[in-house]
Structure 1
Amino acid sequence: MYHSEFYVFDQDKPVPVTIRNYTQDDFDELIQIQSECFPPPFPSDLWWNKEQLSNHVMRFQEGAICIEVDGVLAGSLTGLCVQFNPKHMQHTWEEITDHGYIKNHNPSGDTLYIVDISVRPKFRKLGLGKLMMQAMYHVVIQKKLVRLLGGGRMPGFHKVADTITPDEYVNKLLTGDLKDPVITFLLRCGRKPIGIVENYLEDEESCNYAALMEWKNPFN
């Protein structure tokens, strides 16, 4: 079980934070967090349901973590293990996560794949998403996996989709000419883009594209 207690700073004030594995007692609050994090036009049927959350806890609890700020549940991150071939990158979110139910979790897989990361909007200035991502890096190292991987939404892409390609968009993010709420955040977490995935998720803002973002285990 993962459990870490420390402080983050809200401006100049230290605030106690706990990262831990989530349990059945957290399910209602986790679903509420999803509704706050992914409002329309994001499809509400992609928010967690209790059967999905039960599977996360039962099948791969090491990959089911949440973060509390001064006792208030503020976000969650969920992953599963898969066998990944870098030569065959194309997949959909539904395929690789079993529609979020992770029944395809492979205990012998070489890759920890991020299913979802959510942080309540009112807590987003505290750097909680990055802290949860770092906690998952610990799991990758502990389990001696090759990498952490996941498809990053590109919610800023629709604004420029009529003038540049998805690859050009990511390149502009890497040069600092553009910023994206999700991909720029993942870059700050230490993740690197390794390719573009088409029709990854029904996502108008990203024009259904995603950037496949990797963190390699430095000890492998």
Structure 2
Amino acid sequence: MTKATNITWHDATITKQDRRSQNGHGSCVLWFTGLSGSGKSTIANAVSNELFQQGINEYVLDGDNVRHGLNKDLGFSEYDRTENIRRIGEVAKLFVDSGKIVTTAFISPFKSDRDGVRELFEDGEFIEIFIDCPIEECERRDPKQLYAKARSGQIKDFTGIDSPYEAPDRPELTIRSDQLSVEESVEAIFNFLKEKNII
């Protein structure tokens, strides 16, 4: 519920469909979710790069990057994590409305938060991609040494250690990043986008 009063929604002259028609492709959000170290950002950026190379309008929203700006006022409490995802959902919706394919790389550990974002979009616009990777492999990779810090108590409420990760029940796509290469993962995602006539 909005706190603001005396505001009115203004319909845009140029519609989402107008932009899609001009672009020659659909728009959607590719919502990458998974544990830290699962490969979300790597795969999301690889997908974005391939889209760009093919002349498709795209943009990447990365969890760490967004926390440097838009969400720099948020910590990692359950409330802050929920608000982090809510804001990203709203920003992603703006990108989809602008005719772009936006890839988002966020742990987004809670099903209810991801479901809340899904409700912002029309059918077929929210594509949940579960980057499924065993926590043992994520810890072995540990590119930012976050698991090591969480195990030693330096980081509290770390997802997968002392805060839960709720895996998607029915994601549009599951990528086993411990079994597929980045290139194979990108190919699987592109095949999905083509099957859905988004690209």
TM-score by length of 2: 0.29
Which one has a larger percent strand, Structure 1 or Structure 2?
A: 1
Which one has a larger percent helix, Structure 1 or Structure 2?
A: 2
Work out which structure has the larger RCO, using CA pairs closer than 8 Å and 6 or more positions apart in sequence: 2
TM-score by length of 1: 0.27
